Amino acid sequence: MIFKQFYLPCLAHASYVIGDEETRTAAVVDPQRDTDQYVEFAAENALTIKHVFLTHLHADFVAGHLELRDRVGAAICLGAAAKAAYAFSAFRDGDVLELGRVRLKVLETPGHTPESISIVVYDLNASDSRPYALLTGDTLFIGDVGRPDLRAALGWSASQLGGMLFDSLHTKLLALPDQSLVYPAHGAGSLCGKAISKETVSTLGEQRRSNYALQPMSKEAFIQLVTADQPEAPAYFNYDAVLNSQERLTLDQALAREMNPLTLDRVLELQAQGAQILDTRDPGEFASAHLAGSINIGLGGQYATWAGTVLDRTHPIVIVAAPGRENEAAIRLGRIGFDHVAGYLTDGMHSLESRPDLTVTTERFSAPFAADLLNSPRHPLAIDVRAPRERDQKFIAGSLGIPLNHLVEHAEQLPKDRPLLVYCAGGYRSSIAASLLQRLGFCRVSEIAGGIAAWEAAKLPIQTAQPLS
């Protein structure tokens, strides 16, 4: 058996190729939308990709099932409860796909979604009764289980799915041997769970011992546990879940339409018509000079997740990138189905060298200097754009907490006659926030360079618990 995990840190997403050395056939499970790596791996190992499985209709990314279907002729395989606009093979509980000496057995494991499946992998040269691995999709993570609250828009309550998840875990997955390797579809940083480990593989026995959600408890207690304190899901999650069930353009088709070099004059025309200017450079570069009205989401962080959170799907996107990185910026937008890119600014910021009147800067203050400002008589208003859980642990005294994903909707409450000083954990989100505020007409916006991490490193005072109201 040939078994390979591919891991995409930006989306904390794991996908898999499973192949048989005898028949040289392979299946891909939960692929990302840009599929070169699977095709290249198959070619290197003389494999033909015959099947592509989705363990469920993913919400946090657009999968590459249509791409592999069109590119290599792979048959799409979904759980029997799935509904999709394209042709697929429906796998019911216990159905088996044989790839020579490799066996894939499907278990229907609803809970994260109604159509979720898990795949039990057998290497028949080793054993036809003891599984080699268990591909759990988003049903079971390392250290966590899949959240059951993402299908409310489709009529499924978190309690309904939570009960199904409990049954799937206890009657299907936990019935398998402890030595079975557990390979999930996501790792730490994914919003598909609340306590996912940074590890990308474990054993079922280790999860039985250490996973908080697998400890002995009633179904009612489990439902209460897994539905509480889940992170807020971005608005694009429902969009992606629906898109994964539809026939759509492949990524190559979308990129062929999108990758248009645009002159500065054309970019300005599009901006005047409502296009979003997305500057994908690092926060420091963006702060030193950027096109007025542009939004900074750097390629160096969770670019796709934040693009899906703060950008509008109804207005075109124009990319500003370091020369040579425009395609990467568009591909990573395509991974979440944001195919409404109008083009990119030719030569990036070099196009603006003769037009300094079009550029603005963002001041980034060191933590000690920011502390002095906050202690001055006419001090700025400090805005903490981290998530509520982060702020509950520690924050800068006197700061106002507005999570980045709610900043625009609460911006009207902020004073325009007072300087604003934005901070986050390390500087990535504060740059996004500052650019959004500048775009909304706040003129005196600055950041704490390095965020609260730099503040702590400078041994400046931190409030460690929210005061009682």
Query: Each residue of 297-325: pLDDT tens digit?
Result: 999 999 999 999 999 999 999 999 999 99
Percentage of the chain beyond pLDDT 70 is 99
| pLDDT given at position 468 | 42
Number of neighbours of residue 445 by Cβ within 10 angstroms:
23
What percentage of the chain carries pLDDT values higher than 90? 94
Please give the Cα distance from 399 to 382 (Å, whole number): 5
Residue 398 has pLDDT above 50, yes or no: yes
> For 137-144, what is the mean pLDDT?
97
Q: Is the separation of the CB atoms in 285 and 352 below 8 Å?
A: no
What is each CA distance from 142 to 58, 147, 225, in whole angstroms? 18, 13, 17
pLDDT (0 to 100) of residue 151: 85
* Residue 32 CA to its chain's centroid (Å): 11
Please write the tens of the pLDDT for every residue from 172-200: 999 999 999 999 999 998 888 888 999 99
Average pLDDT over residues 338-358: 97
How many residues are given for the chain? Answer: 469
pLDDT on residue 229: 86
pLDDT the model gives residue 303: 97
Whether residue 373 is predicted with pLDDT greater than 80 in this model: the reply is yes
Confidence of residue 466 (pLDDT cuts 50, 70, 90): low
pLDDT digits (tens, 9 = 90+) for 17-53: 999 999 999 999 999 999 999 999 999 999 999 999 9
Mean pLDDT of the chain: 96
Q: Is 47 helix (H, G, I), strand (E, B) or coil?
A: coil
pTM over 0.75: yes
Write down the number of H helices and E strands in the chain. Answer: 16, 24
Q: Is the model's pLDDT at 124 over the cut of 50?
A: yes
| 215-228 mean pLDDT | 96
Nearest of 9, 11, 108, 117 to residue 62 by alpha carbon: 11
Residue 371 has pLDDT above 60, yes or no: yes
Residue 469 has pLDDT above 60, yes or no: no
- With beta carbons less than 8 A apart as the criterion, state whether 183 and 133 touch: yes
**Euclidean distance between CA atoms 95 and 128, whole angstroms:** 15
Give me the sheet containing 381-384, strands edge to edge.
363-365, 445-448, 420-423, 381-384, 400-401
